[in-house]
Each structure stands twice: as C-alpha cells, then as structure tokens.
Amino acid sequence: MSERLVELAKRRGFFFPASSAYGGTAGFYTYGPQGAALKRNLLESWREQFLTKEGHMEIDAPTVMPESVFEASGHLDTFDDMIVECPACEASHRADHLVEDATDIADAEGMSMSAVEETIAEHDIRCPDCGESLAGVEVSAFNLMFGTNIGPGSSSPGYLRPETAQGIFVEFSQLKEYARNQLPFGVGQIGRAYRNEISPRRSIVRVREFTQAELEHFIDPETDEPPLSRVEEVAVPLYSASAQAGDGETETMTIGAAAETGVVDDWIAYYLGVAAEWYERVGVDMDRFRYRQHQPEELSHYSSDCWDAEVEVDGNWIELTGFSYRGSYDLSKHDEYADEEFTLFRQYDEPITVERPTVDPDMSVLGPEYGSEAAAIAEELQRLATGNPDAFEGDTVTVSVDGEDRSIPVDVTGFAVEEVTESGEHITPHVVEPSFGIDRLIYTVLEHAYREDEVDGEPRTALGLRPGVAPTTVGVFPLMAKDGLADRAQEIVRRLRSEGYTVSYDDSGAIGRRYRRQDEIGTPYCVTVDYESLEDDTVTVRERDSTAQERVAVDELHTHLRSRMTNRQ
C-alpha cells in the first residue's frame, strides 16, 4: 500500500526525495505541483479554522534563533542525548537510560556526561545486548538540533528551530501589547521546523525538515474558560493513559462528557473537539482516528498533560497533532533567562489595600560594619521582612549569610509596615498548545483517500480527496481536439478560472485516459465539451467518485459546482 502511494506521489507530483541529482539527502522531501497545492489548501483551511474563526493572531518568525533561546527553553539540554557505543558489539545505547535502569537515579538526563561515565564505571554497567562492560567507554552527545553560526566565526552560535513555538514565546511582550494586555489570546504560526533525526523513516512521515502549524493560546488559568458549548456534542475516540496502562480500550465520548468528568482538561478538550471536526472536513478517515493521552513518563519536559491526535496509516498509528497543556513553563523560563518580563498585568476588580512589611537598610552603617557582606545582608533582610516580619519585633534581628549568623540592630534596617494599594498583579499566563504536523497530515489525507477500484471492468486508481483540499478542482476536456471543441473548452477554462477555480485543461489522448489522469490526482469534477455543447451550450459534468455524468448549461456551471462542493465539503 505505502509503496504504491509513494510511487503515485512521485509519478504525479505530490512529493519526492529532494536533491536526488546529487544522491539525495535522507529526511528531506520536495513537494511537487500537486503536493504544494494540496499543502497550500490544507494550510489555508487550518488558518481559517484555528486562527480566523477563533479570532487568533498569526505571526511569522525566523527559523534561526540564537543559542540563548534554547538554553532557556530547555531544548539544548534535552536535545543532547547521551549515547554510549558498546566496544564489542557496536550497538549504541542511551547512556542516561542505562544509568537509570541500573541505579536508583530517576533523572540521569540531567547529569553531566562525565558523571554518567563515572556512574557507569562504578556500577559496572554492561551492554544490554552482549554483556560487555561499558566501564571506561566514552559517552558522547548526539544533539537533535541543527546548529549553525550567526555571522562570521563561531562566537555566535544559533540553531534551526526545532519547533515554531519558541518564535512565539520569545516575542510574548510584543504580542501581549497587540492583544491590548488582555487574556486570553492566541497566536499561531505556520512554518518549517528542523530536527536532526537519527533515522528518518517512511517517506514524509518522519523527516528532518517539516512544516508545523502551531497555536499558542495564552490563558489566565484562574479565570478563563474555553467555549466548550460550541463543541460539547462532538464525539471523539479517547484512549486515556489509564486505559493504556491497564487493558482499557479506546472509548468514544462527547467533548462535553470528557470535560465534565475530568478525563480531559477543559481547554485541551475544547481543541480536541474543534480539531476532530476539522480533520473530518479535510478528509481524515475518522474510523482510523483516535486521541491518545501521553503516559506520565512520555510527557515532555514542558508539558503537564498531553493528548495526541493519532491516525492509522499503512497499519501503524502515527501522531498528527500534540495537544499539550504547557502551563507557565515556557514563559517562566524565558522570564528567568531573558531581560524582558514574560508576565501580564491583571487588574483586580477593586484595588486592594494590603499591609506590606518593608526594609530600608541604612547602608552607611552596614557598609563600614560588614564590608563585602553588606549587600547580602540587605537582601536577607528584605527576604526576612516579607517571609517573617515578626523577627523584627526585638531590638536586633538575626540573618544568616554564608552560613554565619549576623545580628543586626533593628533601627538600622529601616523596617516598617506600610499600607500599599495594589490595583492588580503580574501573572504568568498558561499556555494551551495544539501543534499540527502538516507533512504527516498530507500523507494521511493521501493515504486515506487512496483507493483502487474498477470501472467497466477496468482497474482504476483514484484519490478521493475532498473538493475543498484537492489540488485541482475541475478538469476541462474537449471530447475531440477538433471541430472547434477545443476552442470552446478553452473559453470555459478561462471562465472557470476567473471564477476562482483551479482548472486543468487536457486534450491529449482518449477521453477515458484523461478522466483517469484526473482521478489519480484527486480532481473531483471533470467538464467535457462535446458536439451537443456547440448546439445548446451545455456540457457534461463528471463526478470523480461515482463517475456519473450530468448535463449542465455552461451558464450554470459555477452554481452547479459550488453547490456540489458545499454539500461535500
């Protein structure tokens, strides 16, 4: 099945390996004319559904970002997989996983490489395949990000983004301005992302350069609620973590029920509902579709709950979209690492007055007395005032600096309890992220549309693509390329194109052959100009899936096609 689809994809111009004139590069594909058109239609549909209809914004950020971004995001650490190669059997293993299996260490990924090497030697960890000792064997790093240098020299390292999301997070302070500092708001981005996969597989299913369509929906976790009523009746197949852990099975329930019973977080549930309807509309076979919850151990470093949209293609379940509750992880990390603040000011309904203990240390006393410790003492006093104001009740207050207690006279601390009026507070929004893999969606839509059937005893290969996403909407043919039929057909082509249709003209070979060509690229409608057309200005419209024909006046073609398309999406 997959071989024939991949063969068709190449032959008809959907996708094919890139740079094959130079031997090719694994994990990189070029979309041909049909594939590029299909991709464009799918992306336009995504934009319509997840940005326009939701009232979200779209941005377009660079694919290269400086190293510091990924230090903050955690990708630099979690992308550095530690690999140790067995000297005897040459098998490669994740060194941190070996350590975790052999010791009580739960998170060896956070250890340094030398510490992992030492631990391997100490516990005499052996190769799981052949039993050879790995003590003393070098642990090496394999980074899944593509690195590059920004500008000349190597002083300014950068990376190709491994997800489009970071391009949204790092611009948060600008984006919140555009949202007029009001939560909730959503920012989407469509673009390429890069991962230096160890082993690209299955044509465009696992590649090194791919297109993501990601939405980051920033919410106030305390006050914002998703508009669940819009999708509460949508029934979705859910394969929960607990079902996977036990013998449970995929269970179909409505979004309303899933949210109400707490099986799925409300926000995630909302997007599961929206996405399920969208997937069906673009041509995913919903009988081979499910939402699968991540098991606790497979959650990524930033995610507290995650559901994947999965589809069955070629007999395997693959991930199409991750719906992740990223919490405040990303914004908090950037807040910590970057110069800007990644928070948003939330005004209270009524300003509140609070008593706030403060200190104003007299540095002209502390400085001469404690020298270089003075600054640290002042900091400790501030912390103490906030955390334990009662400590300032006596004549002196004791603070601990570098493990030594210092006794400070209260009168030089400037301790006071002030009444302050607060009109709001700075909060770090939470993030709900639906992250779509577009290349996998393209493959899925093709695979689910692919069929081989028989018409009048002849085998036929067809793509049953939805008219809304098919690369070509109408094929126009003259029955014969003579007697003025071709000219009349060309007129109809021009007219349909001016009405916004993607039209393909073909007068080569027998009529049946031309229908077959369009069937293979999923064109839903074919218009044929015959001798009768010259007399009464009618044409036949042939529908791809049924191959049934209907005679329609040329003037009514537009109306006819449009009603067909809206009925069938």
Partner RNA sequence: GCACCGGUAGUCUAGUGGCAGGACAUGGGCCUUCCAAGCCCAUAGCCCGGGUUCAAAUCCCGGUCGGUGCACCA
d(Cα 465, Cα 448) in Å, to the nearest integer?
A: 9
Residue 10 burial (CB count, 10 A): 15
Q: Smallest distance, Å, CB 508 to RNA?
A: 4
Tell me if 267 sits within 8 A of 226, measured CB to CB.
yes
Which of the ranges 42-50, 178-186, 387-395, 536-544 carries the binding residues for RNA, by CB under 7 A?
A: 536-544
Q: Pick between residue 24 and residue 500 the one whose CB is nearest to RNA.
A: 24
Q: Which of residues 358-377 bind RNA (CB under 7 A)?
A: none
| 378 CB-near residues (< 8 Å, 6+ apart) | 359, 361, 363, 366
Q: Smallest distance, Å, CB 131 to RNA?
A: 15
Q: Which residue has the tokens 């994740």?
A: 94
| 534 CB-near residues (< 8 Å, 6+ apart) | 483, 484, 485, 488
Which of the ranges 130-138, 297-305, 332-340, 468-476 carries the binding residues for RNA, by CB under 7 A?
A: 297-305
Q: Which of 298, 537, 545, 556 binds RNA (CB under 7 A)?
A: 298
Q: Smallest distance, Å, CB 506 to RNA?
A: 8
Q: Pick between residue 361 and residue 522 the one whose CB is nearest to RNA.
A: 522
Tell me if 493 sits within 8 A of 478, measured CB to CB.
no
Q: Which of residues 313-352 bind RNA (CB under 7 A)?
A: 314, 322, 324
- 259 alpha carbon, distance to own chain's centre: 22
d(Cα 30, Cα 212) in Å, to the nearest integer?
A: 16
d(Cα 377, Cα 284) in Å, to the nearest integer?
A: 64
560 binds RNA per the rule CB under 7 A: no
Q: Which of 35, 162, 468, 471 binds RNA (CB under 7 A)?
A: 162
Q: Pick between residue 30 and residue 174 the one whose CB is nearest to RNA.
A: 30
Which of the ranges 4-12, 49-57, 118-126, 248-256 carries the binding residues for RNA, by CB under 7 A?
A: 4-12
d(Cα 99, Cα 137) in Å, to the nearest integer?
A: 14
Calculate the CA dihedral of residues 376, 379, 381, 384 and round it to 10 degrees: -120
Amino acid at 90: E
Q: What sign results for the dihedral spanned by CA atoms 61, 429, 225, 298?
A: positive
Q: Smallest distance, Å, CB 522 to RNA?
A: 13
Q: Which of 300, 353, 386, 559 binds RNA (CB under 7 A)?
A: 300
Q: Which of residues 190-219 bind RNA (CB under 7 A)?
A: 195, 197-203, 206
Q: Which of 224, 236, 113 is nearest to 179 (CA)?
A: 224
Q: Which of 125, 218, 542, 561 binds RNA (CB under 7 A)?
A: 542
Q: Which of residues 506-525 bind RNA (CB under 7 A)?
A: 508-513, 515-517, 519-520
Q: Smallest distance, Å, CB 377 to RNA?
A: 41
d(Cα 61, Cα 64) in Å, to the nearest integer?
A: 9
Residue 31 burial (CB count, 10 A): 21
Strand 147-149 relative to strand 157-160, pairing: antiparallel
Q: Smallest distance, Å, CB 304 to RNA?
A: 12
Binding mask 376-415 vs RNA (x if CB under 7 A, - otherwise)? Answer: ----------------------------------------
Q: Which of 504, 492, 563, 474 is nearest to 530 (CA)?
A: 492
Tell me if 291 sits within 8 A of 244, measured CB to CB.
no
d(Cα 98, Cα 89) in Å, to the nearest integer?
A: 16
Binding mask 463-502 vs RNA (x if CB under 7 A, - otherwise)? Answer: ----------------xxxx--------------------
Q: Smallest distance, Å, CB 317 to RNA?
A: 11
Q: Pick between residue 133 and residue 547 the one whose CB is nearest to RNA.
A: 547
Q: Which of residues 121-150 bind RNA (CB under 7 A)?
A: 144-145
Q: Pick between residue 197 and residue 312 the one whose CB is nearest to RNA.
A: 197
Q: Which of residues 430-459 bind RNA (CB under 7 A)?
A: 455-456, 458-459
Q: What are the residues facing 323 on neighbouring strands?
A: 307, 434
351, two tokens: 């300003």
Q: Smallest distance, Å, CB 513 to RNA?
A: 4
Q: Which of residues 47-106 bind RNA (CB under 7 A)?
A: 75, 78-79, 81, 85, 89-94, 97
Q: Which of residues 256-295 bind RNA (CB under 7 A)?
A: none
Does residue 227 sit in helix, strand or coil? coil
Q: Pick between residue 400 and residue 549 the one whose CB is nearest to RNA.
A: 549
φ and ψ at residue 252, rounded to 5 degrees: -90, 125
Q: Which of residues 220-259 bind RNA (CB under 7 A)?
A: none
